[in-house]
């Protein structure tokens, strides 16, 4: 997770276009990376959601209400999955928000090695659709999401959405 929240590609280490005057572009006032940890307990789900919402407002990130709602749903689902499925091996989880000039990425990291998969909807079950929902919200927003292994043997699940909505 060495991305500094700059550039147009949320999955790489930055690299925006060079302006005509040849000077490297400076970060916009709202660009950056923020990370916080939380215990892998149910109470962390609404706390993470509120922390992300408050961060976006405090930094003045130019996001639409629809995009904020999508991001908060993604954060809720990812933190819930970490609490439900990884807490035994990972009593602490990390939430990261990275904001670039053109996108915002949220990620949740835990120390459980299991790589989750999005389940297809089963109308007989009341749960198990979190990653499917994350994938769908991300796709509808014109973003990308993925699961990656960490160097410590855990995983990070992230979703990056464009600040300006794309037509799907």
Listed residue (93, 106, 111, 95) closest to 137, CA to CA = 106
Roughly how many angstroms between the first and final C-alpha of the chain, as a whole number? 29
Q: Which residues contact 132 (CB under 8 A, 6 or more apart)?
A: 118, 119, 120, 121
Q: 70 pLDDT band (50/70/90 cuts)?
A: very high
Q: What is the pLDDT of residue 21?
A: 56
Per residue in 100-151, pLDDT (tens digit) is: 999 999 999 999 988 776 555 555 554 557 789 999 999 999 999 999 999 9
Angle at 115 between CA 110 and CA 120, to 5 degrees: 120
Q: Which residues contact 41 (CB under 8 A, 6 or more apart)?
A: 83, 87
The rounded distance, in Å, linking the Cα atoms of 157 and 12 is 15
The whole-number average pLDDT for the span 40-68 is 97
The rounded distance, in Å, linking the Cα atoms of 27 and 147 is 27
Angle at 47 between CA 111 and CA 136, to 5 degrees: 70
The whole-number average pLDDT for the span 74-93 is 94
Q: 7 pLDDT band (50/70/90 cuts)?
A: very low
């Amino acid at each position: 997770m060495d991305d500094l929240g700059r550039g147009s590609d949320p999955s790489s280490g930055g690299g925006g276009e060079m302006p005509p005057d040849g000077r490297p572009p400076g970060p916009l006032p709202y660009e950056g990376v923020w990370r916080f940890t939380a215990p892998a307990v149910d109470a962390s789900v609404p706390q993470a959601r509120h922390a992300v919402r408050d961060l976006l407002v405090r930094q003045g990130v130019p996001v639409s209400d629809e995009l904020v709602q999508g991001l908060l749903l993604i954060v809720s689902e990812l933190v819930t999955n970490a609490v439900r499925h990884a807490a035994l091996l990972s009593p602490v989880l990390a939430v990261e928000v990275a904001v670039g000039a053109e996108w915002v990425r949220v990620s949740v990291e835990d120390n459980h090695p299991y790589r989750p998969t999005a389940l297809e909807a089963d109308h007989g079950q009341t749960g198990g659709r979190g990653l499917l929902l994350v994938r769908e919200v991300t796709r509808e927003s014109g973003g990308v999401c993925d699961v990656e292994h960490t160097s410590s043997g855990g995983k990070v699940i992230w979703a990056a959405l464009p600040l300006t909505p794309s037509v799907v």
